[in-house]
Amino acid sequence: MAGLINNLLIPFLVFQNICLGFRSPLSLFKRYKDTTRSLSSECLGSDRPVISLGLSDFALDIRMPGVTPKQSDTYLCMSVPLPVDDEAYVVDFKPHASMDTVHHMLLFGCNEPSSTENYWDCDEGTCKDKSNILYAWARNAPPTRLPKGVGFRVGGETGGRFFVLQVHYGDISAFRDKHKDCSGVTLHLTQQKQPLIAGMYLMMSVNTVIPPGEKVVDADIACHYKRFPMHLFAYRVHTHRLGKVVSGYRVRNGQWTLIGRQSPQLPQAFYPVEHPVDVSYDDILAARCVFSGEGRTTETHIGGTANDEMCNFYIMYYMEAKHAVSYMTCTQNANPEMFRNIPQEANIPIPVKSDMLRMTHGHHEETKDTDKSSLLQQAKKEEEEILDQDFHIEEAVEWPGLDLKLGQVSGLALDPENNLVIFHRGDHVWDENSFDSKFVYQQRGLGPIEQSTILVLNPSNAKLLRSMGKSLFYLPHGLSIDKNGNYWVTDVALHQVFKLGADGKEALLVLGVALQPGSDKNHFCQPTDVAVDPITGSIYVSDGYCNSRIIQFSPNGLYMMQWGEGTETSLGRARPGQFHIPHSLALIPDFSQLCVADRENGRIQCFRLETGEFIREIKHKSFGRQLFAVSYVPGGLLFAVNGMPYPGGAEPVQGFVMNFSTGEIIDTFIPLRKSFEMPHDVVASEDKTVFVGDVHARVVWKFTSTEKPETIVEARLKNNPESTDPLKKQEKQHLVRQASTGVSFVLITTLLIIPVVVLLAILVFIRWRKTTVYGADGDHKLDSSSGRILGRLRGKGGGGLNLGNFFASHKGYSRKGFDRLSTEGSDQEKDEDDGTDSEEECSAPPPPPAPSSS
């Protein structure tokens, strides 16, 4: 009888599995669409999916195969063959990319890609034969829709047999975590003949030069049209940072008809042509890009890097199939005089309004990760979501970095790999004998510091990774690291600012004159800190102990402007723009601001990057009389440390966490081991790991955030945010896993309740029969048999049927419903390695005895 039960049970479970595995083509495509929507940072593997959408339609996913660009302004290409031999038509596009990682994407059609590699550097070219642009994307654009009956022709005798995807990675700072990128586009193709064939008309300036500082520069393009009629249905504009507005027109008999006009700083999607425009033989197509060279110190040319410019006006059109041409270009200005009559609207920049930003971003679930540098409103929204979390900063008492043997710790920074970098003074000390009344360094006889002044540490275990900076500096002070890993440091004794390469062996740029204090464009007086704009490369220097100003330099070190003045103590309260030791800088690219720790005025002042215009002050009684350092974390957190209270003051020395937008103090923190004496610098990472360096205590503390998971879950369910913050993503995934667990439990329970009831009924019947026929001995045998069966159902016993493994063996099933959810905290800096390295391996070389003054 037990064998009969097994024979009945196994087909029943197999039938259940078949029911689970069955998907209709519609649900399969829906599942595919949902999957691709969430795979912006995952890879689909080498087998790129081709999904059937019916008898004649299919979807083709074209993605970068998990790449990590090594340097900014990298162009990478990859190709995918058309999966059918016959003619097909592309009727829809769906992008998968974010401006956080991708500057723009182009999709080409051709017959022979430039390489057969998995992917290649686009400097080798895209295609060996003629290529046609099928699609273009930048700045988190929404999907492009083609009109019904219109398609791009591919394959067959005349269409391209390969798709080539080109991805431009502008700023690679988003790849600090070494993740692999799989940006790309999903195509919807059909083999049904389309009566109208789509094409791309590209108008592009190739010789425009933008002089530095020039307010308005026009780039004009115009060509006569000499083909069969075409109908325009979509347009796209493209420039880099200097572009203000791009407009395109059809000119017929002197009449200008607008095709489209848009700000290139808005999402660079293909926008629909509002009023249908047709172009006939001998019409003129004209376009104008308006640029501004303000803020640049050198000429800007048309080129491929983010610091160059581009002037592109793309037009999507369709023609009757028998006359169709798939790609046309215009790169000249056939009639410069005609632009005297261009409509005035072409010269008026389009303001980037908040309602337009919401319109282009707020209603597309797949494009909520927006470009922070241009969408300030979105940055503020993300800030509010992050600040909604309930967390507290506490010292990481297990961190061994407190035992490092250091000199006076003056500067801290995190490099692109998120390693901790320490700038210290070795055996040199800044005391009352270091300078005379004119701020000239008095201890030159000591020579430069012989120890390594720059130490790079593993932030988790404080192990020394590398060291540099021997015999270069006299009195180190400020430290920052740019997006390319270059070290920017100040020396108050030398009165200079240095840019060092990642190896720290030689200076790539030196500002100021060695050992000569001054207050003109070429001299500093004890400069304190440096900040570098990750977008423009502009250099900002806080100068300093004996000057009261912020100076801006171009990326190659040319003086651009300065602002600030000394504080007039007789007035009582310092005015905006006045400094009493501008001691530390925090650059906030999200909001285009530079914040300064105005040390002796006990406050933070924030200014507009482009102009130096004062924006606001952050000042609290708990700061006391001194505020030494400030650090910003993307998402809206500002960290700071204050100084010892003056006699009679009661404010303790502590660290502060603030809401950047409001200036409100969210949290304060102090160390548990030792005590703050003169915390001199602070740096924080996006996961709210904080390091504080103390110039008197000669130590570096590490602090981490402790969060309440239930509070985070409650906030997420309340606000339902979409954010680029890695911690928020983990929390969101945790919630998804919880939801998945609930669904899986209900599904399994529902599917098993019927067979369990049937099985129990059979067992009751057999028990009754065996009790009647065999007596107690039969009871024992029955218990053993039924126990084996139930044990198998529970996944126990040798050779039993484990439900987790049974369902997990089928495609599309996730084990998340069976796995126990993690209940560990979110401290990403927790060291997994319990090895105990010696103190010597973790510390800097001990300082040698100071040489005699002779």
Kindly report whether the global pTM for this prediction surpasses the value 0.75: no
Q: What CA–CA distance (Å, rounded) separates 511 from 525?
A: 12
Q: Where are the beta strands (DSSP E) in 88-161?
A: 88-96, 104-110, 120-121, 132-138, 150-154
Confidence of residue 242 (pLDDT cuts 50, 70, 90): very high
Residue 602 has pLDDT above 80, yes or no: yes
Residue 606 has pLDDT above 60, yes or no: yes
Annotation marks residue 262 as catalytic: no
Q: What CA–CA distance (Å, rounded) separates 555 from 631?
A: 22
Confidence of residue 11 (pLDDT cuts 50, 70, 90): very low
Confidence of residue 369 (pLDDT cuts 50, 70, 90): very low
Residue 538 has pLDDT above 90, yes or no: yes
Looking at residue 717, what is its pLDDT? 38
Tokens 């501004």 -> residue: 292
Residue 343 has pLDDT above 90, yes or no: yes
Mean pLDDT for the stretch of residues 92-116: 87
Tokens 């039960």 -> residue: 5
Instruction: Write the CB contacts of 564 (distance below 8 Å, at least 6 apart in sequence).
Output: 548, 549, 550, 577, 578, 579, 582
Higher pLDDT, 710 or 589: 589
Question: Which among 239, 345, 354 is positioned nearest to 292, based on CA atoms?
Answer: 239
Confidence of residue 547 (pLDDT cuts 50, 70, 90): very high
Looking at residue 728, what is its pLDDT? 40
Query: Do 672 and 397 contact (CB within 8 A), yes or no?
Result: yes
CA 390, 393, 396 angle in degrees (round to 5)? 135
Higher pLDDT, 578 or 719: 578
397-428 per-position pLDDT tens digit: 999 999 999 999 999 999 999 999 999 999 99
Out of 203, 310, 319, 468, the active site residue is 310
| Number of residues that make up the chain | 854
Mean pLDDT for the stretch of residues 537-546: 96
Q: How far is CA 290 from the centre of its chain?
A: 29
Mean pLDDT for the stretch of residues 713-732: 39
Looking at residue 573, what is its pLDDT? 84
Identify the bridge partners of residue 681 per DSSP, sorted by sequence position.
693
Q: Kindly state the tokens that stand for 193.
A: 């003949």
Residue 44 has pLDDT above 60, yes or no: no
Q: Which region among 82-96, 279-293, 776-790 has the lowest average model confidence (pLDDT)?
A: 776-790
DSSP per residue, 259-275? EEEE-TTS---PEEEEE
Q: What CA–CA distance (Å, rounded) separates 683 from 631?
A: 6
Query: Do 379 and 444 contact (CB within 8 A), yes or no?
Result: no
461-503 per-position pLDDT tens digit: 999 999 999 999 999 999 999 999 999 999 999 999 999 998 8
Confidence of residue 749 (pLDDT cuts 50, 70, 90): low
Looking at residue 276, what is its pLDDT? 84
Query: Do 134 and 166 contact (CB within 8 A), yes or no?
Result: no
Looking at residue 753, what is its pLDDT? 72
3-state secondary structure of 26: helix
Out of 96, 188, 238, 583, the active site residue is 238
Question: Which among 196, 146, 134, 166 is positioned nearest to 64, based on CA atoms?
Answer: 166
Annotation marks residue 103 as catalytic: yes
Residue 346 has pLDDT above 90, yes or no: yes
Confidence of residue 706 (pLDDT cuts 50, 70, 90): confident
Instruction: Write the CB contacts of 436 (distance below 8 Å, at least 6 apart in sequence).
Output: 442
Count of CB atoms within 10 A of residue 486's CB? 18
Tokens 């035992």 -> residue: 403
Residue 380 has pLDDT above 80, yes or no: no
Looking at residue 568, what is its pLDDT? 80
Asked whether the bond before 401 is cis by omega within 30 degrees of 0, the reply is no
Out of 104, 231, 477, 495, the active site residue is 104
Phi, psi at 848, each rounded to 5°: -75, 165
Q: Which region among 2-6, 679-683, 773-777 has the lowest average model confidence (pLDDT)?
A: 773-777
Looking at residue 431, what is its pLDDT? 93
- Secondary structure of 438-497 in HEC code, one letter for each residue: CCCECCHHHCCCCCCCEEEECCCCCCEEEEECCCCCCCEEEEEECCCCCEEEEECCCCEE
Confidence of residue 828 (pLDDT cuts 50, 70, 90): very low
Looking at residue 360, what is its pLDDT? 35
Tokens 């198998």 -> residue: 792
Count of CB atoms within 10 A of residue 210's CB? 23
Residue 709 has pLDDT above 80, yes or no: no
Looking at residue 25, what is its pLDDT? 34
Query: Do 686 and 673 contact (CB within 8 A), yes or no?
Result: no
Q: Cα–Cα distances in Å, from 646 out to 431, 575, 596, 650?
A: 19, 22, 22, 8
Q: What region does 199 belong to: left with phi over 0, alpha with psi -120 to 50, or beta?
A: beta
Out of 78, 96, 99, 166, the active site residue is 166
Query: Do 845 and 768 contact (CB within 8 A), yes or no?
Result: no
Higher pLDDT, 766 or 652: 652
Residue 674 has pLDDT above 70, yes or no: yes
Q: What CA–CA distance (Å, rounded) separates 854 from 839?
A: 34
Looking at residue 792, what is its pLDDT? 35
Confidence of residue 715 (pLDDT cuts 50, 70, 90): very low
End-to-end Cα distance, the chain: 104
Mean pLDDT for the stretch of residues 54-60: 89
Higher pLDDT, 457 or 592: 457
Annotation marks residue 188 as catalytic: no
Out of 96, 240, 428, 580, the active site residue is 240
Instruction: Write the CB contacts of 771 (distance below 8 Å, at least 6 apart in sequence).
Output: 778, 779
Question: Which among 292, 313, 297 is positioned nearest to 241, based on CA atoms?
Answer: 292
Looking at residue 570, what is its pLDDT? 64
Query: Do 640 and 656 contact (CB within 8 A), yes or no?
Result: yes
Identify the bridge partners of residue 667 per DSSP, sorted by sequence position.
657
Mean pLDDT for the stretch of residues 665-673: 94
Question: What residue type is assigned to position 189 of the chain?
Answer: L
Confidence of residue 280 (pLDDT cuts 50, 70, 90): very high
Looking at residue 43, what is its pLDDT? 56
Confidence of residue 769 (pLDDT cuts 50, 70, 90): low
Query: Do 785 and 770 contact (CB within 8 A), yes or no?
Result: no
Phi, psi at 603, each rounded to 5°: -155, 170
Q: Which region among 149-163, 242-256, 791-805 has the lowest average model confidence (pLDDT)?
A: 791-805
Out of 96, 103, 188, 231, the active site residue is 103
Identify the bridge partners of residue 271 per DSSP, sorted by sequence position.
235
Mean pLDDT for the stretch of residues 87-96: 90
Annotation marks residue 495 as catalytic: no
Residue 366 has, within 13 A of its CA and on its CB side, a CA count of: 19
Looking at residue 589, what is its pLDDT? 87
Looking at residue 357, what is its pLDDT? 41
Query: Do 147 and 273 contact (CB within 8 A), yes or no?
Result: no
Higher pLDDT, 728 or 456: 456
Sign (positive/negative) of CA torsion 141, 142, 143, 145?
Answer: negative
Q: What CA–CA distance (Å, rounded) separates 219 from 204?
A: 9
State how beta strands 578-579 and 565-566 pair. parallel
Mean pLDDT of the chain: 78
Annotation marks residue 428 as catalytic: no
Mean pLDDT for the stretch of residues 249-255: 96
Out of 78, 96, 99, 168, the active site residue is 168
Count of CB atoms within 10 A of residue 3's CB? 8
Higher pLDDT, 390 or 19: 390
Mean pLDDT for the stretch of residues 180-201: 92
Mean pLDDT for the stretch of residues 227-241: 93
